[in-house]
Structure 1
Amino acid sequence: MNPIFARLSRRIIRYQLARTTSDQLIQLGKKKLIRAFRRAARHSSAYQILLREHDASVCDINTADDFVRRCPVLEKSNTFRRFPIDQLIASDTDKSQLASILTSSGHGSNGFAIGLSTRKQLKSTATLIDMGLELAFDIDRYKTLLINCLPMGVTFQSDTVCVANVSVREDMACAIVEQAGAAFEQIILCGDPIFLKKLCDFSQSKGLDWGRYRVNVIVGEETFSESFRDYLALVLNSNPDHPASGLIGSSMGVGELGLNLFNETRETIAMRRACMAQPDLLIDLFGRSAIDAPVPSFMVFNPMRTFVEVVNTDKHGNGDLLVSMLDPDIPIPLMRYKTGDKAKLLSTAELNAVCRKTNKDFSLPSLPVIALHGRAKDYLPDGMHLDHFKHLLYADPAIAAQVSGAFRLTSAVNGLRWEIQLQHGNEISPQSIASSLQAAASLTYGRVETICYSYHDFPHGKSLDYERKFVYWLG
């Protein structure tokens, strides 16, 4: 696409978003939903079988309410584990035009799932990515370098920013910053939390001065705590509460559905941090039990791209996240696909109530908002969540500087065992760090046996290669 035309298109979209409510966008998306459903029902033999087994007749499904009430819930076990790829691919897909494959992480017990893209879709990928980057990072205003440190062959295409796909090479990422960073007005780092911690550690050991650059971060792959955001901000010379500072925000994708399905914005980050400061907001939104749970991430989504549901909800609206993709050209159409995450859809009224109760002046996002509680399997048997321990690991910057970010939780007699990996060359004794973290954990969560290991002695280090999602919890 012509760069001038692309920039004009992004300005038009921003203008339209500013004048369209999230509820209006959702209604427009529902019209696309029925078209996407009918295409899947007509062209996916696997989906036809699932509809018959669920006694769902296509002619009876004419509205979004019909779709929600009658159509089956899909997940890996009844799609990718059950059907061969030929039955999952829509029959109107020209297989000679398949251009790329993206897999899920394989982190769950149901193995891998895949997402396919056509050449037509691939050509539009850069446009979609650039639109997202413009909304989050003003790439039309700042000459931008994006350093992609995501593993597993995840790459970015862009017609606007300069992209360096370095995968999990902290030395390569830092070398690019040092040698080329001054040629740009801002830098965007993209990676998962555990690798971004390694990148921070390595950059500090090399004396890299992040203060010379305007640095933004896209955090993917897993949830993280506000203490981790604060730690990144401290190392990268950023300020999460200042609108002129670089943005440190998260993005969530699902390999078989697509990248960046949900993402934080400055507004949603401000909401989450407001909830940290005012626990009564959490009670209003999620019930009194939310006080003992990690604060969820608030993220926006594009209802013209995805139809989002939350099912099996409790009385406060928290439940299982389902996503239906609305792209009419997607090779594997997935309707009501269960991602394995816990979430809540937030209404405009609830969001307005949050704004009224805070002392901070921030506006609502133009896109609809979801509260993401994280993966269902990240909840421990006693109701605690992995994010409790991620928070403790970064709550004290002095201790955070000494750990790698990797830990393993296991059941122990009368409680939990928390094994923590220290970073290379830590300067505080393992026993001292373990005592501090155990005291903090036990104060809130009961008996937690805490053990710190040197980097090479960490018994679970062989599964930490930064290419695979790290396993934090073994029940």
Structure 2
Amino acid sequence: MDHGRHILKNLDFNGKSHLRDFYAFDITKFEGLLKTKDESFWEKLGERKALKLFHLASKRVPAYRDFLKKHKVNPVKVKTSEDFKQVPLTDKKNYVNFYPIEKRSWDGEMAQAKLVAVSSGTSGEPKFWPRGHFQELEAAVVHELLYRYLFEINKYRTLLVVGFPMGVYVSGVATLLPSWLVSSKNYPLTLASVGNNKNEILRLVKNLDRDYEQIVLIGHPFFLKDVIETGKEEGIRWSSRRLRLMFCSEGFNETWRKYLASEAGLTSDLKNIINTYGSSELLLMAHETPLSILIRTLLEKNKHLNTQLFNKVHTPGLFQFNPYLRHIESVKGELIFTSASGLPLVRFNLKDGGKVVKFKEMSSALDDYEPKWRAELKASGGDKVLWKLPFVSLLGRSDHTIVFYAANIYPEHVHSALNHEPFLRKLTGKFTMRKDYRDNMDEFLEINIELKSRVKPTRTLALVIREHVIKRLKEVNMEYLFLWNNLDKDIRPRIKLWPYQHQKYFKPGLKPKYISRD
């Protein structure tokens, strides 16, 4: 049976047979299709699925039915993928915040959901996100694919440690549930749901690692960086074990990845440290692959390639996605998603800046600017998981910015400055930005930065960081550069250094909040 179509057999999206479908699902045949089919195969399946979801939502989701009516859209006339591209976009303002949660549920009944998660509130008030059976099936398929073909859990007795915050927040449960489903398919995989407790993770590793051939740590990147560094200080020889790391929620550059690999004693291949792209609304949408990581290293070295593909100086996050499992469009520089979530979302604007790049376009650009890319991929062993899937670049949240003298200051730009190699042994990577006013009402930008444990704040360090942040902003942010050259104001950021886990901004257990509005 064509296993791309196998999942399509129950497209009511909120039926109850999806767990049985997952246990019957043959991931090896699915991965075989990934190697042999080009992206158009998956795109066609994804377009069919998105159209099906659109028509079902227009009938069975009261809020979406009303939304279409207000925008004078007749669902019957939406028949093709081109028609679908003309359907108005939804977002948090015109849809999520406008309609009550039950109206956004299937048949107007939230009680059909089996699990409710809560977004962390990074962009405002926390939101509730019911999750459905079909969504869990998709998540399980993606996690099994990653665990089997990147971490080879079928070959090694593996201890997988979930280091995301647990409780009602999304990331921990969204990792634990699909991981448990994967482990129940007779893989030698044991889960430990520790949460973001560094000491407990280290105690677990020290006591249980001898029973396993591989340890996989999953969590926020700057938290796991702290775990690796502290473990090393406490005598853990990470290099003596097969270690793999998987992240979500935050980006980093390749200098940072290389540094962490060195701290953990990892080899330089392209499968040891994997970042993913997810959200509260949609769960895991895309993920890095050996190819995407290789391309990102090339983008950071080759400005011409970066300009050709993204017309940016700042290197974006880069992931691959399966259009069948995650329908993603790019419209006017923003990413648009259609997903059979617990609360169905159709052409939903997450306000993430980015771009979808076809595999053919990417490979053509690589052939022109980096003709040895295939040889480099093969030398690393990454060609064994070469999937001809499209890419999605992530430039950062388009609505998660500070507007400073009309210039948009993105957390990603400050991230890239703090990932400067000389800072990595002194800073945790966490920071919070805020804008305030002087007595004369001139604006100023303040960046609060967390120091590593036992690192003391000094004026010299703050000045060095400030100069590098300014240098980096002038390199990657054209609006800031324009201000620097034309505005007769002091726009240098104020740098405040805070002790490790200070209660004001860096209280333990909380997800980093990059922008403070207080």
Question: Quick check: TM above 0.5?
Answer: yes
Where 1:433 maps in the other structure, the secondary structure is: helix
Match of 1:231 in 2: 259
Instruction: Tell whether the 8 Å contact from 2:359 to 2:389 is kept in structure 1 after alignment.
Output: no
Cα offset for 1:82? 2.2
Q: CA RMSD in A?
A: 2.9
C-alpha contact (below 8 Å) 2:431/2:512 kept by paired residues: no
Residues of 2 paired with 1:86 and 1:393: CA distance?
43
Corresponding residue for 2:508?
A: 465
Alignment of 1:74-85 (within 5 A): 74-85=90-101
Identity of aligned residues (%): 22
Judged with a 3 Å threshold, the aligned counterparts in structure 2 of structure 1 residues 129 and 456 are, in CA distance, closer, same or farther, namely closer
Specify the alignment match of 1:242 in structure 2.
269
Residues 22-33 of structure 1: matches in 2 within 5 Å? 22-33=39-50
TM-score of the superposed pair, with normalisation by structure 1: 0.86
Structure 1 position 353, deviation (Å): 2.5
In the alignment, is residue 307 of structure 1 matched against residue 327 of structure 2? yes
Q: How much has 1:152 moved relative to structure 2?
A: 4.3
- Quote the Cα distance in structure 2 between the aligned partners of 1:135 and 1:66: 37
Q: Match of 2:123?
A: 108
Residue-by-residue CA offset, 1:311-361 (whole Å, 9 max, x unaligned): 1x2xxxxx1111001x4xx54211011112011010233211232121333
**In terms of mean alpha carbon deviation, does 58-67 or 136-145 score higher?**
136-145
* Cα drift, residue 267 of structure 1: 0.5
- The corresponding residue for 1:276 is 300
CA contact (8 A) 1:403 1:422 kept: yes
Equivalent residues in 2 for 1:124-135, closer than 5 Å:
126-135=140-149
Offset at residue 377 of structure 1 (A): 3.2
Which stretch shifts more, 406-415 or 53-62? 406-415
Q: Deviations over 1:89-132 (max 9, x none)?
A: 1129794x5321122222113641413224x7657754552233
What does residue range 143-222 of structure 1 map to in structure 2 within 5 Å?
143-153=157-167, 154-155=172-173, 156=176, 157=180, 158-159=182-183, 160=187, 161-222=189-250
Among candidates 52, 77, 93, match of residue 60 of structure 1 = 77
Which letter maps to 2:91?
E
Q: Distance in 2 between matches of 1:151 and 1:338?
A: 26
Q: Do 2:328 and 2:335's aligned partners in 1 also have CA atoms closer than 8 Å?
A: yes
Match of 2:363 among 352, 362, 369: 352
Structure 1, unmatched stretches of 5+, are: 314-318
What is the alpha-carbon distance in structure 2 between the residues aligned to residue 92 and residue 112 of structure 1?
Answer: 18
The amino acid across from 1:98 in the alignment is A
The one-letter amino acid paired with 2:511 is R
Counterpart Cα distance in 1 of 2:102 and 2:448: 45
CA distance in structure 2 between the partners assigned to 1:101 and 1:414 by the alignment: 41
Please tell me whether the aligned partners of residues 7 and 140 of structure 1 are also in contact (alpha carbons under 8 angstroms): no
| Alpha-carbon distance between aligned partners in 2 of 1:219 and 1:324, rounded to the nearest angstrom | 23
**Cα–Cα, structure 1 residues 171 and 457, in superposed 2: closer, same or farther, change >3 Å?**
closer
Give the counterpart letter for 2:462 in structure 1.
Answer: A
Q: How many angstroms apart in 1 are the aligned matches of 2:94 and 2:102?
A: 15
- What is the count of residue pairs matched by the alignment? 450
> Is the 8 Å Cα contact of residues 431 and 452 (structure 1) preserved in structure 2?
no
Any idea what the Cα deviations from partners look like across 1:39-71, whole Å, max 9, x if unmatched? Answer: 1011011110000011110110001111111x2
- Letter matched to residue 162 of structure 1: T
Contact 2:448–2:498, Cα closer than 8 Å, also in 1: no
Mapped to 2, the partners of 1:337 and 1:280 lie a distance apart of 32
Greater mean alpha carbon deviation, residues 171-180 or residues 86-95: 86-95
| Contact 1:103-1:256 within 8 A present in 2 as well | no
CA 40–7 in structure 1, closer or farther in 2 if over 3 Å, else same: closer
* Structure 2, unaligned runs of 5 or more: 1-17, 378-382, 437-441, 475-483, 485-490
Change (3 A) 1:7 1:276: farther
Residue in structure 2 matched with residue 316 of structure 1 by the alignment: none
